[in-house]
Amino acid sequence: MAAEKELYVLRLGGSLLTPRDEDTPRINAEAIHLVVQELKRAWSRKDFSLIITHGMGSYGHPIAKEHEINSPRMHERKVFGTALLARSLTELNARLIAALLEHRVPAISHPPIGAITDNGVIVEKPLDALERMLAHGFVPVVQAFPSMDLSQGVAILSSDHISPYLAARLRATLSIIAIGIDGIYDENPKENPHARLLPRITPESAAALVKGIGSAGYVDVTGGMQRTLSEALSGVREGVSTRILNGMKPGVLSEAILGEAEHGTLVTAARP
């Protein structure tokens, strides 16, 4: 990448971006406002490049489940459901872009339509346009989206996978995941109020955690927190650490970017 500025890849989790407990999908305006204020605070003290990725939230998971879009074969309902899902996710992306532009963030949509996957894993994704956007000062916004898949015909390209993929190939300083809880716990905090927040996870310590993390607790066709951790660990293997933090707490995101405090859970290589 031509620019010398540090690059951060910020993933907005679907449960942060959209309320999960409502019948009609909508953007969580309060969360977006807080994220933008945190970014502006960080930008006021440090010049850096940014890519924002985001999940599907209530705009995508119910449609994907109803139409069995993650099924391993193509069928008529999956074909039509994929079209419905693409339209809904385009609407979500447009609403997020509009919210960012209202705050004068030069956000520009970069849907991963050109990505080819195999069982949901990217095997081909041109990055030239994305690099040029960053060099010119834009903030690309990349969404989860249905992809043409070598094994399944169509698969959902999750933002869990997109974020570490882009961070590794564009040599990001850090991948950040903003969600609605403080990070990763040793047990599901919704089921056990005594669950312990894990400040650091390495590939060596991760194996024992998978069962304890539990399910997402809501309709999620892309794997929930277990998938988030697995993809973050794949980024570690390619040299990029991921910090998972609470995007609804003031000061947390900006301090992570500025290196002022260590919030949430850092998924990284073992200490030397």
Assigned CATH topology for domain 6-267: Carbamate kinase (3.40.1160)
**The amino acid at 138:** F
Q: What is the pLDDT of residues 149-186, one digit of tens each?
A: 999 999 999 999 999 999 999 999 999 999 988 998 88
Distance from C-alpha of 151 to C-alpha of 221, rounded to nearest angstrom: 18
Report pLDDT for 63.
92
Q: How confident is the model at residue 126 (pLDDT cuts 50, 70, 90)?
A: confident
Tokens of 70: 């993650």
Judging by DSSP bridges, how do beta strands 200-201 and 174-179 pair with one another? Answer: unpaired
Angstrom distance (rounded) from CA 105 to CA 98: 10
pTM > 0.85: yes
pLDDT value for 3: 46
Closest CA to 57 of 191, 240, 220, 233: 220
Q: Check if the beta carbon of residue 92 is closer than 8 Å to that of residue 53.
A: no
CA nearest to 181, candidates 230, 231, 245? 245
Q: For residues 251 and 221, which has the higher predicted lDDT (pLDDT)?
A: 251
Q: Which residues pair with 10 in a beta bridge?
A: 52, 176
Q: Are 124 and 116 spatial neighbours (Cβ–Cβ below 8 Å)? A: yes
Is the pLDDT confidence value at 270 over 80? no
Output the six-digit token pair for 153. 């015909």
Does position 2 have pLDDT exceeding 50, yes or no? no
Residue corresponding to tokens 């312990």: 196
Q: How many angstroms from the chain centroid is the CA of residue 101?
A: 20
Domain ranges, ordered by start, for the chain: 6-267
Residue 193 has pLDDT above 50, yes or no: yes
